[in-house]
Amino acid sequence: MTPKTAIALLAAGVLAPAAPSWAEGAPPLDTRTAQSDLPLTGPRAAMHLLYAGLSFELDPERHYLNGNGQYQVQAREDLARLEFDLDPRFRVYSIRLEGAELAANQWSSTDGVLTIALPKGLKAGYTTLVQIAWDGSPHEAINPPWEGGIVWSETDDGQPWIATAVQGEGCDLFWPCIDHSSQGIDALDLVVTVPKGLVAAGNGRLIGTQDNGDTTSFTWQARNPSNYGVTLQVGPYELAKRSYESRFGNTIPLMFWHLPGKAEGANRLLGELEGQIAFMEDRFGPYPFGDEKVGVAETPHLGMEHQTINAYGNGYQLEANGHDWLLQHEFAHEWFANQLRPTSANDMWLAEGITTWTQPLYLAHTRGQEFYDAEMRSNRERVWSRVPLVPPEGELPDYNDREALWGDDIYFKGSWIIHTLRSLVGDEVLFPAITRLTYDTDDPRPGSIRPINRTTEDFRAILEEMSGQDLEWFFDAYLYKADLPRLVAARKGSQLELEWQTSSALPFVMPVEVQVGDEVRTVDMAGGRGRLDLGSADRDYALDPANRILKYDAAVEAAQNGKSAD
């Protein structure tokens, strides 16, 4: 998802009243449907979707969707029924099992759960084919992408312009699925039928189009899509495209579906994507979906990292740093969200934090260290630390909680945690560790890459193995506790005494750099305490002069509270 820049923060209501609703008067979401990653229990925990064939017919005038899904379901354990998540505002009007129509009393769709009885049961390891037909008016997004749903918009000349953005709420906003980050689909066929003159840009590879007279059907095929990454992006699109020769020897199609009259901006951004691919592949590993495409579609909302077809709504703005921040952010999500997938929303910082950190990292690559430092300082002012970044087991975070602001911290505190890790373990550990975290191998190659689910503890284990350090103290203080470490300094004559204070029971042993005159010294903080001889009682010093450590800052807190620091 997109980070909240100053403009986006205003739109989301963090720094100002909430923006006008995209769907004024829309009925509220069912409580269950409104939240992804509810605990996996019962059949939802024992089902694996080997294949989904999804067909959607969109009626922009009525804001209506007719859907049909064919699923090959494999049982991980013996099953007496199947369960899918689905917004109860939809009417389910037909279900077939192995081609046979089920009677109405063999299934039910209530309270956000579609339950299908299996007359003969399904043994562990076996598969069955189920077909579901549904229709209705899907939930309309209130403030996409942060409060998601479907967007029924229009271009300046009045043509339909449609998009979905459902990360926080989940795939069940418009199709039956298992709405949990740990669940995916091995293979997807996606058919989108739209009024003639419109184009449906989709996940994966375009297999073909069919002229139906008044409508056109677009058939897409994708491997291993994430649930929330399955998307509908429709408009009177034109296509800008080119090919990219990867350092790994494969050729990657680059495609940008843009509105008429935007070809110049789209082609400029395709040029930027070439530089971003080169950078990301050099730092982390091969583009994960090179066998399909790098895809972008212009959308009426700001953006979203839909797998191989990222939403872009930044208006082709020219920026002083020389590249489009939104394009870069969403593209980096192909590595960190679509390839490396958080196991649940509780580990969402892995996707958003690492992705946000790639933005200053890319600026350092293209413009120099000064730009990296400036971007990190800007990010620091958006770290709130009011709640743990990784919520306790059994608790689900609220992305849009304006008090807790966890939805900000997963971006900006997450990026600063990676920045601080970099100073602790060094580039020689951090970059290979991120590669292993992302691909589950130290030497990823095109053709053998498949998405992987990861947890915060997976990252810690990899870092500990590769660095030889015990990092429990670091992860406990930064990820599982809300408040930031405080560095307390006391001067006794020429002696500078330093102490870390955290709410963790473990000593926080982060070394501290101290600048004394022209010299920078490193103070070992064994047990959370350290001492440095300054040489004289009146000698000036500066703590952490390169701003490498995420820590409590009274000036930042005062600014966040709208006051000046004392």
CA angle at 311 for the pair 84 and 10, rounded to the nearest 5°:
100
Q: Which residue has the tokens 């091995």?
A: 186
In angstroms, rounded to a whole number, what is the distance separating the alpha carbons of residues 271 and 80?
53
In angstroms, rounded to a whole number, what is the distance separating the alpha carbons of residues 256 and 32?
35
In angstroms, rounded to a whole number, what is the distance separating the alpha carbons of residues 485 and 553?
10
- For residue 236, the one-letter residue type is P
Burial bucket for residue 329 (CB in 10 Å: 0-12, 13-18, 19+):
buried
User: Within 13 Å and on the Cβ side, how many CA atoms surround 346?
Assistant: 18
In angstroms, rounded to a whole number, what is the distance separating the alpha carbons of residues 310 and 289?
13
Question: Quick check: 207 and 191 in contact, CB under 8 A?
Answer: no
Question: Quick check: 181 and 36 in contact, CB under 8 A?
Answer: yes
139 is in an annotated binding site: no
323 is in an annotated binding site: no
CA angle at 176 for the pair 447 and 256, rounded to the nearest 5°:
45
- CA 283 vs. chain centroid, Å, equals 19
Question: Quick check: 140 and 23 in contact, CB under 8 A?
Answer: yes
User: Within 13 Å and on the Cβ side, how many CA atoms surround 479?
Assistant: 25
Alpha-carbon separation of residue 349 from 218, 305, 341, 459, 534 (angstroms)? 34, 15, 10, 12, 39
301 is in an annotated binding site: no
Alpha-carbon separation of residue 510 from 402, 426, 433, 486 (angstroms)? 31, 13, 19, 11
Sign, CA dihedral 372-373-378-382, equals: positive
In angstroms, rounded to a whole number, what is the distance separating the alpha carbons of residues 498 and 525?
8
Q: Phi and psi of 189, rounded to 5°?
A: -110, 130
DSSP per position, 191-250: EEEEETT-EEE-SSEEEEEEE-SSEEEEEEEEES-BTTT---EEES-EEEEEEEE-TTS-
Classify the phi-psi angles of 170: left when phi > 0, otherwise alpha if psi is within -120 to 50, otherwise beta. left
Residue ranges of the annotated binding site for Zn(2+) are 329, 333, 352
Residue ranges of the annotated binding site are 329, 333, 352
